[in-house]
Amino acid sequence: MSEIYNRAQKSLVGGVNSPVRSFSGVGSEPVFITKAKGAHLTDTDGNTYIDLIGSWGPLILGHDERIARAVAERAGQGLSYGLGTPEEVELAETIIAAVPSVEKIRFVNSGTEAVMSALRLARGYTNRDKIIKFRGAYHGHADSMLVEAGSGLLTHSTPSSEGVSASVAKDTLLAEYNDVESVRRLFEENPGEIAAIIVEPVAGNMGVVAPQPGFLEDLRRLTEENGALLIFDEVITGFRNAYGAYQNETGISPDLTVFGKIIGGGLPVGAFGGRREIMNHLSPLGGVYQAGTLSGNPVVMSAGKKALQILKEEDPYGKINEKIDRLEDGFNKLRDRYDLDLSFGREGTMFTLFFNKNVPTTYEEVLESDTKAYGKFFRAMLKRGVLIPPSQFESWFVGAAHTDEDINKILKAAEDSFEEMRESTDCS
């Protein structure tokens, strides 16, 4: 065991500050990182890795020095004032200009905080208590969202967390992603009681599961028919697939949108926004209270501004898709060569390599994935210098900093890993 991990376990629960980093879902000791550049990480033992985690989504530009410089420059003017700054207005204007359904926005410090606040706003605006979420979806760790959730809960097979009171959980109704009938039934069983549906427009926390044609449109229609709000959780998808939000590509206007990750350039951020008429119910204009010491922090806003500026000016999305096309083609070829139960679940620039014969389109199908085989693959890739997400139930992230050589190395490491896995299976 590494010395740092040994120490970490004494002071941090499980040696980590977020469960999925423990690598316990893939039977490995975690790595501890000291520095990064481009698409590469270096751990405390000097090992380097091609990074396919991307800090779970924020680092679409990789570890980009230009953002670090923007942070250093702004930090030199003061780290926090607890008062308004031009930067938070500028980043708000940038996001509003990029996402037509958002007329006003509020910044917070994490995706969880943004979701929690958006749900409170939806309840306050509709004067209703119940929320529909989808099994296997993850919207951060606010109590009401820790019911049959994905990401780290699914990784550790604890989809519903302890400590969530029954009185809270009863207002969270569960539907099946890509199954509009399961949503319709909930509206019929709870007439006039549902404040909102919250949905990841592309499911990223059960592994990547794309919305089936018409699914999101059906949610929009059902919420309108039943006087409920539609909340798109775009914490991952915001500025991931294209400059703007995933909703822009669908032509659907949700009532509220939640952002995080990329809009903070790698620093702690969250945001929620939507129609002025709804947002104005927030304090200090309205009766829905929401606040935060470091909300809209100028250093964070500067990182986000720089990231979105680079994305807008350089438009790396086409090249990112080309790199993922090469991975998809390469993994499909390896699947055929080694006759593997392997499928490449993808929606644009989000993808997951499933140890599953078919590309899952539902949570139930995701659960059929072979997490043991995924763990073996994770460990084989790690020792070959490729860091894939330490869970079958996460999105992989390729960004602007990954080079063609990185893609070649990933596929070569995968080929050697499958070779090793075949030999060990043959021997066992």
The reply to whether 138 belongs to the active site is yes
Element (H, E) at 213: none
* Minimum CB–partner distance for residue 282 and ligand KE4 (Å): 19
Known catalytic residue at 233: yes
Give residues 389-408 in contact with ligand KE4 (rule: CB under 6 A): 394
Residue 20 near residue 391, CB atoms below 8 Å: yes
Q: What residues form DSSP beta bridges with 274?
A: 104, 256
- Phi and psi, residue 426, nearest 5°: -60, -40
**CB of 269 vs ligand KE4, minimal distance in Å:** 8
Tell me, by CB under 6 A, how many residues bind ligand KE4: 21
Q: Residue 235: what are its φ and ψ, rounded to 5°?
A: -60, -40
Question: Which of 273, 330 has the CB closer to ligand KE4?
Answer: 273
Catalytic residue among 138, 177, 363, 374: 138
Backbone angles phi, psi at 34, to 5 degrees: -105, -30
DSSP character string of 390-413: SSTTS-B---TT--HHHHHHHHHH
- Which residue lies nearer to ligand KE4 by CB, 156 or 319? 156
- Smallest gap from Cβ 192 to ligand KE4, in A, equals 28
Binding span for ligand KE4 by CB under 6 A among 23-31, 70-78, 230-238, 281-289: 230-238
Q: Considering only residues 108, 236, 350, 413, which one is a binding residue for ligand KE4 as defined by CB under 6 A?
A: 236
Binding pattern to ligand KE4, positions 120-159, x when CB under 6 A? ------------------xxx----------xx-------
Q: Among all chains, which residue has been given the structure tokens 């820790």?
A: 146
- 311 in Cβ contact with 60 (< 8 Å): yes
Tokens 């043959």, located at residue: 426
> Using CB under 6 A, which residues numbered 251 to 270 contact ligand KE4?
260, 270
Is residue 205 a contact residue for ligand KE4 (CB under 6 A)?
yes
Stretch that binds ligand KE4, among 108-116, 322-330, 339-347, 373-381 (CB under 6 A): 108-116
C-beta nearest to ligand KE4: residue = 111
Among 24, 85, 94, 112, binds ligand KE4 (CB under 6 A): 112
- Compute CA distances 99 → 21, 244, 265, 419, whole Å: 32, 6, 18, 46
Choices 105-113, 120-128, 185-193, 212-220; region in contact with ligand KE4 by CB under 6 A: 105-113
Short-list 36, 35, 64, CA closest to 303: 64
Q: Which residues contact 283 (CB under 8 A, 6 or more apart)?
A: 289, 290, 291
Residues 265-304 that bind ligand KE4 (CB under 6 A): 270
Contacts of 106 (CB under 8 A, 6+ apart): 117, 271, 272, 273, 279, 282, 290, 295
Binding site for ligand KE4 (CB under 6 A): 18, 20, 56, 110-112, 115, 138-140, 151-152, 200, 204-205, 233, 235-236, 260, 270, 394
Q: Which residues are catalytic?
A: 138, 233, 261
